Amino acid sequence: MTKPESKKSGVAAINATGKCATAASAAEQVINGSVEADCPDQGTLMTAKVNKQIARESLHWRNTECEVYDDGTNTFFWRAHTVTVLFILTCALVYVTLLEETPQDTAYNTKRGIIASILVFLCFGVTQAKDGPFTRPHPAYWRFWLCVTVVYELFLIFILFQTVHDGRQFMKYIDPKLGVPLPERDYGGNCLMYDPGNTTDPFHNIWDKMDGFVPAHFLGWYIKTLMIRDWWMCMIISVMFEFLEYSLEHQLPNFSECWWDHWIMDVLLCNGLGIYCGMKTLAWLSMKPYQWQGLWNIPTYKGKIKRIAFQFTPYSWVKFEWKPASNLRRWLAVLGIIFMFLLAELNTFYLKFVLWMPPEHYLVLLRLVFFVNVGGVAMREIYDFMDDPKFHKKLGQQAWLVAAITVTEFLIVVKYDPNTIMLPIPFFIMQCWLLGILLIFTWTLWRFFIHDITLRYKETRRRKQEAPADRDRPLGNGSTATPSGRSKLNDNSETPRQRKT
């Protein structure tokens, strides 16, 4: 398998970095019609149409292709090595079959067989699966996470089809410490920022909240900003999740936090600082030149080290322009993305609650690492599918799997603890959510239906008013234009022959 970037290197190498803005602005002028070229013959007209189509394509790829230079180096690192992987896998299976004695422990053999099956599937997927939109640091890395996504979804389906008792006890096969109900920690006990009653440390409430979740919040929102690439969407999701914690604290005890823990430590400090650093990183990634050269083609050691470090940055850059108010399809897509983000965040807490996993367990951390690696690919595929549906005619494979995983996790929560989910929401909180949904529905109805109908009606009325003015406009010989020559003859007593004479 050749390097995916080398396919585009021929076109990308022609475009210099300094020509990007000029080409993009010229393309915009051609598309908008601000540049009017004289087309005296049909050949020139055809050339203008071709240039206009090329301008549209250059506008679509102006954020990626025009700033990419690649010398097309294809080394051993970029090959798929399908035969090598198949040979090593076959040797391992032959060794287990012929040279190793099978233990008589049924549980051990079951675990071993499941792990071996997963490893064989991962080997197949890493070498044979379809590449996604990301190619750095290596396409095989993202193919690996695609196969892990499939395995995780199958595991969730298996858990979903078990009884509540069997599903919780099955977790003991992964870790014997699991399968035991654990009390949730209550964060909303003493909410005094300054406790005068504690003379030793009056700020002990603040220090108690400074646990390992503070840097986790910051790092999580930094990575989410790199996924979403939009400040407004990140802030909306951050604030909405705090409202969800307020609304659901009667279901999960650890949602009960102090007001300053919600809005100062979470929204302003951890989430806000993570979003700010993420936006600064996005600004740097959008301005840096993307010039790729083979490692052995770089003469200096400093250049080689810099090239190795840049291997972990994107191959090219795409600026996400969500534009939710541009049309109904994009508006509904943005609402769906926000909803799925919030649902995935809630699943983190509810899965720990229904499967009896402590917050510090390594499985909880592995799930977060999993979503960090697959979330960026899923967001890129969703954006491509929403931004250019003619080219991307179907939803990407990673985005499809992430959506299926989010829904499956929620179904597990509903099945394993329906009593907690069905606890009635307080009436005033329900009123607030109904008011918010009503406002969103009203704005959607006005923006994409009533507003558009009003604009079309005004445009039609303006054209009707301009039509009589065009008919009454005087011609060059001083007479006025008439709607029809036949009606003029009908109103005149002269015959057609006399008028001709």
Both 363 and 451 in one domain: the answer is no
Both 173 and 199 in one domain: the answer is yes
pLDDT at 48 over 70: no
Both 376 and 452 in one domain: the answer is no
How high does pLDDT run on average in the chain? 80
Q: What is the structure's pLDDT at 2?
A: 40
Structural domains in the chain (count): 2
Both 398 and 428 in one domain: the answer is no
Least confident segment among 46-60, 220-234, 335-349, 412-426? 46-60
pLDDT at 97 over 80: yes
- 111 within a domain of the structure (yes/no): no
Residue range 31-36: average pLDDT? 44
Q: What is the structure's pLDDT at 114?
A: 93
**DSSP collapsed to 3 states, 212-256:** CHHHHHHHHHHHHHHHHCCHHHHHHHHHHHHHHHHHHCCCCHHHC
- 270 within a domain of the structure (yes/no): yes
> Which of 420, 439, 470 is the endpoint of a domain?
420
Cis (ω within 30 of 0) for the bond into 289? no
pLDDT band with cut points at 50, 70 and 90 for residue 464:
confident
Q: What is the separation of C-alpha 278 from the centre of its chain, rounded to a whole number of angstroms?
A: 15
| Cβ–Cβ under 8 Å, residues 195 and 204 | yes
- 176 within a domain of the structure (yes/no): yes
- 77 within a domain of the structure (yes/no): no
Place of tokens 């301005």: 287
Q: What is the structure's pLDDT at 17?
A: 40
Both 242 and 368 in one domain: the answer is yes
Q: What is the structure's pLDDT at 452?
A: 77
Q: What is the structure's pLDDT at 184?
A: 57
Least confident segment among 3-12, 309-318, 452-461? 3-12
Both 402 and 451 in one domain: the answer is no
- 133 burial level (CB within 10 Å; 0-12, 13-18, 19+): buried
Least confident segment among 230-239, 294-303, 489-498? 489-498
- Which structural domain range is residue 346 located in? 129-287+321-420
Integer Cα distance of 338 and 81 in angstroms: 40
Based on C-alpha coordinates, what's the Rg of the chain? 32
149-167 per-position pLDDT tens digit: 999 999 999 999 999 999 9
Structure tokens at 263: 């809005």
- For residue 151, give the nearest of 170, 131, 123 by alpha carbon: 123
pLDDT at 396 over 70: yes
Both 454 and 341 in one domain: the answer is no
pLDDT band with cut points at 50, 70 and 90 for residue 119:
very high
Residue range 357-383: average pLDDT? 93
Both 391 and 436 in one domain: the answer is no
Q: What is the structure's pLDDT at 455?
A: 81
Both 330 and 434 in one domain: the answer is no
| Cβ–Cβ under 8 Å, residues 407 and 339 | no
What 3-state class would DSSP assign to 292? strand
> Which of 370, 404, 420 is the endpoint of a domain?
420
pLDDT at 39 over 50: no
> Which of 359, 390, 420 is the endpoint of a domain?
420
Residue range 358-379: average pLDDT? 92
Both 262 and 200 in one domain: the answer is yes
What 3-state class would DSSP assign to 290? strand
Both 157 and 252 in one domain: the answer is yes
Amino acid, res. 18: G
- 448 within a domain of the structure (yes/no): yes
pLDDT band with cut points at 50, 70 and 90 for residue 202:
low
- 303 within a domain of the structure (yes/no): no
Residue range 266-273: average pLDDT? 90
Both 363 and 453 in one domain: the answer is no
Backbone angles phi, psi at 480, to 5 degrees: -105, 150
- 224 within a domain of the structure (yes/no): yes
Integer Cα distance of 169 and 163 in angstroms: 10
Q: What is the structure's pLDDT at 264?
A: 86
- 494 within a domain of the structure (yes/no): no
Q: How many Cβ atoms from other residues are within 10 Å of residue 489's Cβ?
A: 13
What 3-state class would DSSP assign to 94? helix
Out of 14-23, 305-314, 358-367, 405-414, the most confident range is 405-414
